[in-house]
Amino acid sequence: MYENILLAYDCEEKFETAVKELNNLISNKRNDAKEEDTLITVLVIIPQQLLEKSVAYQNKHFKKIVMEEKRKFKPFLEDLEICGFRYETKYICGNVKKEVLNELKRKDYDLIVLSNRNTKFKTKDALGNASYKISKNTEVPTLIIR
């Protein structure tokens, strides 16, 4: 059912539960389609403010931040491989909401997976600002995980 899944990451979230949730989603649909049919695009967005601070205070540029994120992300990607998922990674810099919405325009995705950092649950703001704006401005089904 899900051939193209976009998993957006903004360098601050934790994705301990993402592999479990993806496994549940895809394993439930494996009877309908082969698991090889599903491609997970891991979109690593380096927020513009983080890049600006890194350049100004640490003389760390985009390529170096990408290298650090690749090291930090390696266990997660290994977990995806262990589960047999096909994936690709993209590293970009910019505003999280805008970049996710731009990526949705570039490619036809069946599902978006976002993480919600809000640890305190309030009905008024149960979703984070980015998660809310993305889910509000797209027709693509959105899975928000904690």
User: Taking all residues of the chain, what is their mean pLDDT, rounded to a whole number?
Assistant: 80
Which two three-digit tokens encode residue 79?
């977990």
Which pTM was predicted? 0.79
- Give the range of the structural domain holding residue 91, as residue numbers without chain letter: 4-145
Q: In one letter, which amino acid is 125?
A: D
Task: Report yes or no: 6 and 103 within 8 Å, Cβ to Cβ.
Answer: yes
**Chain segment 72-112, per-residue pLDDT in tens:** 888 888 988 888 889 999 998 888 889 999 999 999 999 99
Q: What is the pLDDT of residue 131?
A: 80
**Chain segment 30-89, per-residue pLDDT in tens:** 555 455 678 999 998 888 777 777 777 777 787 888 888 888 888 888 988 888 889 999
Q: What is the pLDDT of residue 123?
A: 39
CATH number for the domain including 106? 3.40.50.620
Which two three-digit tokens encode residue 37?
């049919």
By CB neighbour count within 10 A (0-12 exposed, 13-18 middle, 19+ buried), where does 125 fall?
A: exposed
Which two three-digit tokens encode residue 2?
């899900």
Q: What is the pLDDT of residue 14?
A: 63
**Chain segment 119-136, per-residue pLDDT in tens:** 554 434 444 677 888 888
Top pLDDT among 4 and 14 is at: 4
- Total number of domains in the chain: 1
